[in-house]
Amino acid sequence: MSYSVIYEDIGLKDYKQTWDYQTEIFNKLVDAKKKAAETSVSPVNLAGTLIFVEHPHVYTLGKSGSENNLLIDYIQLQANDAKFYKIDRGGDITYHGPGQIVGYPIFDLEVIKIGLKEYIFRIEEAIIQTLGELGLKGTRLPGSTGVWLDPELKGKARKICAIGVRASKFVTMHGFAFNVNTDLSYFSHINPCGFTDKGVTSVEKELGVRQDIEKVKEALKRKIKGIFDLEWFKTQS
């Protein structure tokens, strides 16, 4: 049976405001599951949520990351019109900015009947298949999450999509950052995802043409729907 999910594209939005918003949705799902467990009542399968968003320039550091991977100080952050947050996802440091599709799937993996490793694998697969439609060959790098180009070529590996998640009671939050028309110069101020020997790239850089990000969103949305067997839930207006 398909998993019902509310899809929201909230455009360009401040990172902290979006973090608070997805946390609110996440907590509702987790609390509903906890209450059901305490009362031994079968939980009502609440709809999940998939948020697409672009953020103003911001760096986020996961709970397992090192602040040393941010290579500029707070004065330089301000000079680059960027913000910095320590957050509650896995992974190290990454950058979010305009031209990047950031996806926050708030899914109940118990309903989908998969574990966290399979969840991440499916997110990667959705990105890989979207890249394939665009004419690029994305793949995985063993021992690392995310989607890469040419990871097997020494000195050529470059990341095009970062993934960092948090899960509680099998409910996920945070997600992925897919570089489409991203200003890659902002990555020069960090060791992306903690790596010092690998690069980053974007669809625009690889193809040499600025992309229609709305079309890329639609392709990615379609891939996620198919790979996770989702059914879009229409809210009452």
Q: What are 113-168's pLDDT values in tens digits?
A: 999 999 999 999 999 999 999 999 999 999 889 999 999 888 899 999 999 999 99
Active-site option among 58, 190, 193, 220: 193
Looking at residue 36, its amino acid is: A
Show the tokens assigned to 93: 């440091």
Q: Is the pLDDT of residue 69 over 70?
A: no
How far apart CA 67 and CA 189 sit, in angstroms, is: 12
Q: Is the pLDDT of residue 81 over 80?
A: no
Give buried/exposed letters for 42-79 (b at 16+ CB in 10 A, else e): ebeebbbbbbbbbbebbbbbbeebeeebbebeeeebee
What integer best gives the mean pLDDT of the chain? 88
C-alpha 167: how far from chain center? 13
| pLDDT-derived band at 64, boundaries 50, 70, 90 | low
| For helices 213-228 and 116-134, angle between their N-to-C axes, nearest 10 degrees | 140
Residue for token pair 């599709």: 101
Lowest-confidence pick of 17-21, 126-130, 231-235: 231-235
172, 105 Cβ separation under 8 angstroms: yes
- Whether 161 sits among the annotated catalytic residues: the reply is no
What is the predicted pLDDT for the residue at 55? 97
| pLDDT-derived band at 91, boundaries 50, 70, 90 | confident
Looking at residue 23, its amino acid is: T
pLDDT in tens, 1-15: 799 999 999 999 999
By CB atoms closer than 10 A (0-12, 13-18, 19+), residue 149 is buried
How far apart CA 100 and CA 9 sit, in angstroms, is: 13
How far apart CA 88 and CA 56 sit, in angstroms, is: 20
Q: How many CB atoms neighbour CB 3 within 10 A?
A: 19
* Whole-number Cα distances in Å, 158 to 91, 110, 123: 17, 33, 18
% the chain with pLDDT above 70: 87
Torsions phi, psi of 24, nearest 5?
Answer: -60, -45
* Whole-number Cα distances in Å, 174 to 101, 107, 167: 13, 10, 9
| pLDDT-derived band at 237, boundaries 50, 70, 90 | very low
Q: Does pTM surpass 0.85?
A: yes
Domains of the chain: 3-232 (3.30.930.10)
Q: What average pLDDT does the segment 89-96 reach?
A: 81
